[in-house]
Amino acid sequence: MVQVCERHGMLSVWSRGELMAQLAKRSRSQECVTHPDQFRTVAAASAMRQQVIPLGHLRPAPQVSQRPLQEYDQLYGVGFAKEVVACGTSSNS
């Protein structure tokens, strides 16, 4: 449970007798109040629009390894499947 007090344009938030936060009251309704450090390291939107190269193109492509599928069979203990020579033929002789 918290207690919120307003005095001389300042809002104070108290919990169990301890001052938790103190903020200046805003004059307009529904105005967003952000913490000063919340967006400190984020570039402004105008700076992002000026960037010609998309962000994804600035990152190097990951290194990819290609292996035969038999290696995965060995890793997971799967028995080797016999190669299918013919499919859908009937042996009605």
Asked if residue 84 belongs to a domain, the reply is no
Asked if residue 80 belongs to a domain, the reply is no
Give CA–CA dist 24/26, Å, rounded. Answer: 6
Asked if residue 21 belongs to a domain, the reply is yes
Can you tell me the mean pLDDT for 2-8?
Answer: 89
- ∠ CA(56), CA(59), CA(60), 5° rounding? 130
Asked if residue 45 belongs to a domain, the reply is no
**How many domains, the chain?**
1
Predicted local distance difference test score (pLDDT) of residue 59: 80
Confidence band, pLDDT 50/70/90 cuts, at residue 2: confident
pLDDT 10s digits, 7-54: 888 889 999 889 999 988 877 777 777 777 888 888 777 776 776 777
Asked if residue 22 belongs to a domain, the reply is yes
Query: Which structural domain range is residue 18 located in?
Result: 1-28
